[in-house]
Structure 1
Amino acid sequence: MLRWLVALIAALAAVPLAAHELRPSVVEMREVETGEFTLDWKVTLAVGSAGLLTERLEPVIPDNCAMQGEAVQRIQSAALMGRATLQCEGDPAGGAFGLSELLGKSDAIARFIPLDAPTQSFRLTAEAPTATILAEPSALSVLYDYFVIGAEHILFGWDHLLFVIALVLLVRGPWPVVKAATAFTIAHSITLIATVLGYSGLPGRPVEALIALSIVFLAVEVMTALRDPERRTLTRRYPWAVAFAFGLVHGFGFAGALADIGLPQSQLAAALFAFNIGVEAGQLIVVALTILALKALTRASERGQRQALTTATYAIGTIGSFWLIERLIG
């Protein structure tokens, strides 16, 4: 288990620019007048995929809809942006809309927004890159899709992932881990909800830099604890307070991800709740795996334990430092 943890951190070091890569693509079909729709899509681009994506990707529309003129596509901010105008004869319910394909393991959120009915939201995948418009929208689909997006965001949003791992490495004990993780959860839930509802907010660039700084800070604290186990720094005495303070910052990061994805306004509470629960589920998985790795480590010699923890901590600190510099000057 420990080897898997160290291997994971080493893998993250090999892809430092992928710190916040989980920003799902979005496809939206919006009715602007009776029978007239706009179809907009934003597809996140992986490195080197722009040419391949623009050549192969085409919008998919319901059979009873026709595109008015040519679709317009452009590359902007590491994403493929597209728009088309549709004219539909009758109700598009039962028809498919979305994209011809999604490359790799990417996913997307699809939204169908009629004039006089609730918004419908769907999660698209590389295996199923289109959605079928429902005659009666289901709230359960919103809960499921945003739960999955939330869980993926913590599991594949590398900066949040490393922060949680570093927090567990610092705290170690089961009860202190529970208190610190709970404080982190409460804090990022506060800023996430407040930002989504428009009561607070910070620019994305400073937030991303502060998230990287939180990783570096915890890595330094873990190394201090390894070198001098008797030294009781403020962080070691009150880890829950530090977790709460940085949790507020990470909440702004989660809110930024949701801003990129978008939320169905008619089902805002359900989507926000599901996303937050998904984040917590992903966080619990990371905490549990890290605790299991630490437990497995106790079977090694004292020297082996120290070497493994030192290697993991230096890897975390190095990655966090790179992200901090890149976000400050990039």
Structure 2
Amino acid sequence: MIRLVLLLSFCLGVLLPSRVPAHALEPAFLELTPFGAGEWRVTWRKPQVQGQPMDIDAVLPEGCSPRRGSQPDFDGRAFLEGWVAHCADGIGGGEIRIEGLERSRTDVLVRYATSPEAAPQAMRLTAATPAFIVPENSGMLGVAAGYFMLGVDHILKGVDHLLFVLMLLFLIRDWRPLLAAVTSFTVAHSISLAAASLGWIVVPSPPVEAIVALSIAFLAAEQLHHRRDLPGLTLRYPWTVAFAFGLLHGLGFARALLDVGLPERDVPLALLAFNLGVEAGQVLFIAVAVAMGHAIARLYPVFATHMTRAGSFGLRSVAYAVGALASYWVIERVAGFLT
């Protein structure tokens, strides 16, 4: 029992930061749009931290003037700067650096074009790689790679989305209905992600985030009330429940794309790459969770026998913990858009 408690504490400590946010900091966004001879329109968007702009700065290649922005303006969610940079020798072959990114928890999506005739490219910068050399022309592969990594990063840092998938794994034990549920969840959030990103449907973000948290609380309640002789809605209609909530989660995924935008010439490619990135991150999480479950069952057979059955102390404890956290998110998010 002591080992089990320590194991659960370790897992919760890894999954949940001290303030238990559902997402990591919003990604920053830098865009360089060429519009004349040696001139680029620069848009620099960085997250807020406790009401102040995050301590990161975009630095353009040498030969550009000015290389940095000035005082940012707050738009309600992030701090924006815009300026026109003159780069006599172009930006190809130059270094774009995000100063201070190595000390942060956020990522930066850089979208740029080396000339008015060139297709826009994308690059994702992280704390480990805060700078890159602008290639002369990386083609469509650069766009796909940048948006794919953005999708992977978004799902792996979205603790609320991962908790929903984890509760599905705990609740549905038969692989056939589990496969149906995961597949319908994937199809549903792919549909709503595309629709929201393309502007076909417009839904305010705060209510969507509150309903996403509510979906986690729903699955936790299903786990607590699960009995072999009285299955809940999720066990009776796994793909229907997963599809309905998948539509809502897709609207949440779309927020990342709406924040950074889609390249005008490569919208289908960027949208496909981002969705594939989300799916890759989701599959990776499921694979790790299943592998950890098998490993723990081998090391501690009593865990598999007595602690993972429906209605067992172990699953009820997890359901109470996840349900309490999800309920906190619901209250916090509803209060956020009502006040």
Shorter-chain TM-score above 0.5:
yes
* Residue from 26, 29, 37 that aligns with 1:23: 26
Preserved contact between residue 42 and residue 83 of structure 2 (Cα < 8 Å):
yes
- Structure 2, unaligned runs of 5 or more: none
* 2-structure distance, mates of 1:254, 1:275: 9
Per the TM alignment, residue 16 of structure 1 is displaced from its structure 2 partner at its CA by 4.9
Preserved contact between residue 98 and residue 110 of structure 1 (Cα < 8 Å):
no
* 1-structure distance, mates of 2:244, 2:199: 20
Aligned to 1:318: 324
Per the TM alignment, residue 194 of structure 1 is displaced from its structure 2 partner at its CA by 1.5
Aligned to 2:111: 111
Q: Quick check: 276-285 or 34-43, which moved more?
A: 34-43
Q: Quick check: 298-307 or 170-179, which moved more?
A: 298-307
Aligned to 1:252: 251
* 2-structure distance, mates of 1:127, 1:293: 27
Preserved contact between residue 189 and residue 247 of structure 2 (Cα < 8 Å):
yes
Deviations 1:216-261 (A, max 9, x none): 1010001111xx2221223211111100000000011111111112
* Residue from 43, 68, 72 that aligns with 2:46: 43
Aligned to 1:33: 36
Secondary structure at 1:38's aligned position in 2? Answer: strand
Aligned to 1:232: 231
Alignment of 1:120-139 (within 5 A): 120-139=121-140
Preserved contact between residue 16 and residue 322 of structure 1 (Cα < 8 Å):
no
In structure 2, relative to structure 1, the CA distance for the partners of 1:280 and 1:5 (3 Å cut) is farther
* 2-structure distance, mates of 1:164, 1:70: 41
How many pairs are equivalent? Answer: 324
Preserved contact between residue 68 and residue 85 of structure 1 (Cα < 8 Å):
no
Aligned to 2:260: 261
User: In the alignment, does 2:282 pair up with 1:276?
Assistant: no
Letter in 2 for 1:111: R
Secondary structure at 2:301's aligned position in 1? Answer: coil
Aligned to 1:199: 200
* 1-structure distance, mates of 2:68, 2:19: 42
Alignment of 1:92-241 (within 5 A): 92-102=91-101, 103-113=103-113, 114-225=115-226, 228-241=227-240
- Structure 1, unaligned runs of 5 or more: none
Preserved contact between residue 121 and residue 139 of structure 2 (Cα < 8 Å):
yes
* 1-structure distance, mates of 2:292, 2:314: 11
In structure 2, relative to structure 1, the CA distance for the partners of 1:283 and 1:277 (3 Å cut) is same
TM-score of the superposition, structure 1-length normalised? 0.88
Deviations 1:57-91 (A, max 9, x none): 44312222211996232455464432332122143
Aligned to 1:60: 59
Aligned to 2:302: 300
Identity over aligned pairs, percent: 37
Deviations 1:240-283 (A, max 9, x none): 11000000000111111111122222222222111111111111
In structure 2, relative to structure 1, the CA distance for the partners of 1:294 and 1:139 (3 Å cut) is same
In structure 2, relative to structure 1, the CA distance for the partners of 1:140 and 1:147 (3 Å cut) is same
Secondary structure at 1:18's aligned position in 2? Answer: coil
In structure 2, relative to structure 1, the CA distance for the partners of 1:98 and 1:39 (3 Å cut) is farther
Per the TM alignment, residue 11 of structure 1 is displaced from its structure 2 partner at its CA by 4.8
* 1-structure distance, mates of 2:273, 2:333: 30
* 2-structure distance, mates of 1:7, 1:138: 44
Aligned to 1:286: 285
C-alpha RMSD of matched pairs (Å): 2.6
* 2-structure distance, mates of 1:272, 1:141: 14
Determine which structure has greater relative contact order: mean sequence separation of CA pairs < 8 Å that are 6+ residues apart, divided by chain length: 1
Letter in 2 for 1:101: G
* 2-structure distance, mates of 1:176, 1:135: 49
Letter in 1 for 2:70: A
Deviations 1:127-174 (A, max 9, x none): 332333322232222222222221121111111011110111111222
